[in-house]
């Protein structure tokens, strides 16, 4: 358990040492000038002119460079820089600069809650406002207590003990039902609960899910993932008690179904069946295609993304939400544990960047909720953007990595039967597969996550759009792929971020009758790979495409990984048997294939 206490006060910067000599350049700049001058001396480039022309200072005029040299050496006159003033030869310096003492500062936070209480802060304290000047700045500072002790900052003993005791007692006095309610209002592995606090301050207790009892943890898993196979009588009692008191019921008058309703959205089919492939990297490809759909929408916008953490896209959606008469509807996955295991993006592969990505995700959700966008959560791995003008289905998430870095693959359709069918699939998924609804809340997170009851029979459709096009879920994709491979003879191309075909498909892939070219994300190494399969690593590959000669092609958001957890996700794959579409898809992918 952790306790955070946030209180108001004033940040101040104070001078520790005022240098009385000539003004000095910043330490980093002074060091750079010294090092440059030392290297130049060894190569007989000993004048300001030589420093500018040959050692990277062309961005400055010569008088400006001379002024900086004077500051770095703390001398009042230009002549003091030179060993031979007539030739303007600079004095030689060593590679270890002897910097003059400069201005240094200390930082402090004076509490307005505790009389005469001052915190001494380090210059790199992340809570310092930036930039901080000599002028006082009013703000909030947060200290964290763990096991009644504080990290780095010392609170008065009596206050520390009081805060910790009150927080611990408040949490322990909660019933199991109330603890589960707090957990269901969070979308992470941490539970935060505000507590009564002194005036002008805020007290919050934070508990990891792992600190709850085993029955409470299981009840939360059941509520977040319906259709749980087995549960004890104690767990069932906790689940039923929560549902009877707190479950959010979608009604005709609720926010999520207020007119206009999602099932009223329609596509005007005005064009012949046609597909445009969106394959490539960077802003000109992925971001451009998705931003165009958003900006050109005039009636409604339906969005599904496993992760939403691109603030530029979030701001664009918020702007459109104020103008679209039929609203904005968003599906996403708020389960942080699944986010970490199933489909980590390139930009969050390191722990510190992963933490930053979670912050971006939270900020984007706050923006969208504040804009009155309707959001639901579930096991959504689907990546689609749909308006009445056009629609995208593919592998691209609304993240910086997907939009700007990864190799992604998707399809673009406009006012044709595929477009109308994709909207129908989104409507069905919204109604039958959502497990949580996201609402605005006056809390530290700014959002409230409440569970909803999904359909007892989640969609497992394979609906034909016409004789040559079909949308598949993970399980129907797996079954269809197995059927197609069974009697296929020829070249197979597989593009995937991960590879786990399972026993049945592995047997069909291990055949000289079906030579396999596997294009796999370079960072991922499959545990078992047959010698019959040629593997070609591609940097930052996130596309999901499978092609069987000229017979059939699949493209969408489903990896070539069919373990049970992946098959349980909500996702779509487009299947085509049109030879022209297949050949165009192969041709575009070949530009990125080794």
| Residue 343: band (very low, low, confident or very high) from pLDDT cuts 50, 70, 90 | very low
Rounded mean pLDDT, 521-532: 78
> What pLDDT is recorded for position 357?
60
The DSSP H or E segment spanning 137 is strand 137-146
**Cα–Cα distance, 483 to 514 (Å, whole number):** 14
219 near 180, Cβ under 8 Å? Answer: yes
Dihedral of alpha carbons 287, 288, 291, 293, sign: negative
Answer with the residue of higher pLDDT: 438 or 520.
Answer: 520
| Residue 582: band (very low, low, confident or very high) from pLDDT cuts 50, 70, 90 | very high
Query: Would you say residue 488 has pLDDT above 90?
Result: yes
> What pLDDT is recorded for position 463?
45
Which two structure tokens, joined as six digits, stand for 279? 């394959």
91 near 85, Cβ under 8 Å? Answer: no
Closest Cα to residue 244, out of 303, 328, 177, 343? Answer: 177
Dihedral of alpha carbons 47, 51, 54, 57, sign: negative
Lowest mean pLDDT among 431-440, 490-499, 559-568: 431-440
Query: What are the tens digits of pLDDT across the range 353-378?
Result: 444 566 677 788 888 988 889 999 88
325 near 299, Cβ under 8 Å? Answer: yes
Lowest mean pLDDT among 155-164, 182-191, 526-535: 182-191
DSSP 19-67: --SS----HHHHHHHHHHHHHHHHTT--SHHHHHHHTT-TTS-HHHHHH
| Residue 568: band (very low, low, confident or very high) from pLDDT cuts 50, 70, 90 | confident
> What pLDDT is recorded for position 94?
67
Rounded mean pLDDT, 178-205: 74
The pTM score is 0.61
Query: What are the tens digits of pLDDT across the range 40-73?
Result: 766 555 678 777 777 778 778 888 888 888 888 8
Please report which residue ranges of 248-399 form alpha helices under DSSP H.
Answer: 288-296, 311-321, 336-342, 351-370
Cβ burial of 450 (10 Å; 0-12, 13-18, 19+) is middle
Query: Would you say residue 409 has pLDDT above 60?
Result: yes
Lowest mean pLDDT among 260-274, 374-388, 448-462, 556-570: 448-462
17 near 158, Cβ under 8 Å? Answer: no
Kind of pairing between the strands at 301-304 and 328-332 = parallel
């Amino acid at each position: 358990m952790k306790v955070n206490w946030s209180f108001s006060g004033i940040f101040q910067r104070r001078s520790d040492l005022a240098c009385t000599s000539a003004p000095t350049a910043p330490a980093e700049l002074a060091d750079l000038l010294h090092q440059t001058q030392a290297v130049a001396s060894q190569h007989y480039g000993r004048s300001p002119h030589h420093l500018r022309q040959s050692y990277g200072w062309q961005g400055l005029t010569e008088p400006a460079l001379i002024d900086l040299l004077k500051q770095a050496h703390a001398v009042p006159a230009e002549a003091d820089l030179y060993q031979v003033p007539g030739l303007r030869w600079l004095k030689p310096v060593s590679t270890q600069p002897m910097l003059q003492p400069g201005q240094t500062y200390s930082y402090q936070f004076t509490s307005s809650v505790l009389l005469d209480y001052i915190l001494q802060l380090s210059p790199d304290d992340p809570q310092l406002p930036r930039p901080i000047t000599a002028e006082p700045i009013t703000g909030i500072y947060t200290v964290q207590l763990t096991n009644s002790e504080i990290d780095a900052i010392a609170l008065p003993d009596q206050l520390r003990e009081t805060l910790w005791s009150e927080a611990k007692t408040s949490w322990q006095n909660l019933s199991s039902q109330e603890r589960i309610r707090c957990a269901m209002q969070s979308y992470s592995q941490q539970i935060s609960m505000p507590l009564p606090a002194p005036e002008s301050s805020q007290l919050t207790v934070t508990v990891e899910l792992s600190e709850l009892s085993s029955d409470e943890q299981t009840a939360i898993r059941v509520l977040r993932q319906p259709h749980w196979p087995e549960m004890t009588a104690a767990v069932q009692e906790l689940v039923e008690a929560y549902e009877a008191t707190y479950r959010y019921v979608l009604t005709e008058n609720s926010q999520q179904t207020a007119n206009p309703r999602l099932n009223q959205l329609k596509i005007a089919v005005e064009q012949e069946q046609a597909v445009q492939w969106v394959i490539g990297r960077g802003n000109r490809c992925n971001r451009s295609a998705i931003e165009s759909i958003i900006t050109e929408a005039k009636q409604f916008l339906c969005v599904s993304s496993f992760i939403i953490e691109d603030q530029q896209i979030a701001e664009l959606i918020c702007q459109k939400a104020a103008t679209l008469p039929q609203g904005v509807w968003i599906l996403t996955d708020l389960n942080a544990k699944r986010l970490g295991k199933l489909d980590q993006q390139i930009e969050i592969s390191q722990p510190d960047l992963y933490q930053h990505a979670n912050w971006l995700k939270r900020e984007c959700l706050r923006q969208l909720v504040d804009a009155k966008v309707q959001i639901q959560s579930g096991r959504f791995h689907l990546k689609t953007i749909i308006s009445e003008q056009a629609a995208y289905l593919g592998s691209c998430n609304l993240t910086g990595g997907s939009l700007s870095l990864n190799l992604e693959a998707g399809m673009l359709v406009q006012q044709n039967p595929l477009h109308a069918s994709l909207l129908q699939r989104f409507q069905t998924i919204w109604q039958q597969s959502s497990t949580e609804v996201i609402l605005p809340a006056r809390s530290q997170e700014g959002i409230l996550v409440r569970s909803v009851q999904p359909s007892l029979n989640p969609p497992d459709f394979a609906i034909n759009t016409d004789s040559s096009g079909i949308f598949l879920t993970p399980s129907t994709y797996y079954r269809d792929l197995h059927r197609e491979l069974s009697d296929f003879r020829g070249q197979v191309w597989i593009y995937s971020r991960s590879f786990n075909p399972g026993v049945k498909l592995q047997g069909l892939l291990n055949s000289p009758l079906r030579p396999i070219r596997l294009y796999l994300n370079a960072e991922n190494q499959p545990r078992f790979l047959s010698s019959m399969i040629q593997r070609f690593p591609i940097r930052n590959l996130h596309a999901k495409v499978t092609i069987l000669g000229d017979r059939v092609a699949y493209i969408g958001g489903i990896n070539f990984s069919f373990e049970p957890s992946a098959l349980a996700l909500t996702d779509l794959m487009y299947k085509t048997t049109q030879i022209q579409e297949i050949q165009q898809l192969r041709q575009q992918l070949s530009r990125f294939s080794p």
